[in-house]
Amino acid sequence: MSKKIKLVIFDAYGVTLNEGYPNTMKFLAKKYDKDKDYLYKIFYTKYLNLAANRKITQKQAWIQSVKETNLPIDYKEVKKIHYSLMKKNAKVIKLADEIGKETNTLLLSKNTRSQLFEVNHILDFKKHFKNVINTWELGIPKASKETCEFLLKRFKVKPEEVIYIDDQESNLTDAKKIGIKTIFYQNFEQFKKDFYKIYK
């Protein structure tokens, strides 16, 4: 048990679950001869982020993405493909289960309510994490100082008592600035090595 760490924060897509949108875009790019980076930019960076920040609905995000990328497919089919490709990261889940026996754990997401509901069928979050927080419900950006300060207050912890794991380095910037220990997840072995350097 780590005496120094009192809260471990896990990202959803790309950490506890496989890549999510990148996998979906790879599939669509191959099937419809499109550039996967372009698809990702439209689907995720542009429209999902608007939905995650309550600017549009999740349904509108799917519809607008399909329309703008000129995919010859219905948005419902894209949605179906997206969830069918999603798998839980068993190694990360096992580690979360183990440390959850002795330390507070949190699954932190920025998904819309409907999307988190769908994903929860793949990975029963509350079965593996003591806490689940979706910043969409709070109406604040996930990658922000505001969210970090909210979590510190909510869990009554200091920045140096927290580990925050995310597969998008930009999501960790504000957390790192205020002293939270961050891990940029690239693969499981790298993550495990970095994690146990801190969690000791």
Which pTM was predicted?
0.88
Distances (CA, A) of 63 to 2, 42, 67, 72, 136: 46, 11, 6, 12, 20
User: How many whole angstroms from its chain centre is CA 116?
Assistant: 10
Q: Are residues 107 and 129 in contact, defined by beta-carbon separation less than 8 angstroms?
A: yes
Cα–Cα distance between 16 and 112 in angstroms, integer? Answer: 17
Chain segment 90-131, per-residue pLDDT in tens: 999 999 999 999 999 999 998 888 888 888 888 889 899 999
DSSP 29-90: HHHHT--HHHHHIIIIIIIIHHHHTTSS-HHHHHHHHHHHHT-SS-HHHHHHHHHHH--B-H
**Torsion (CA) 8, 154, 182, 169 in degrees, nearest 10:** 110
CATH 3.40.47.10 is the classification of domain 7-18+87-198: no
> For the chain, which residues make up each domain, given as ranges?
7-18+87-198, 21-85
pLDDT tens sequence across 31-42: 999 999 999 999
Model confidence at 194, pLDDT cuts 50, 70, 90, reads: very high
Rounded to whole angstroms, the Cα distance separating 80 from 94 reads 27
**Tokens representing 28?**
């669509």
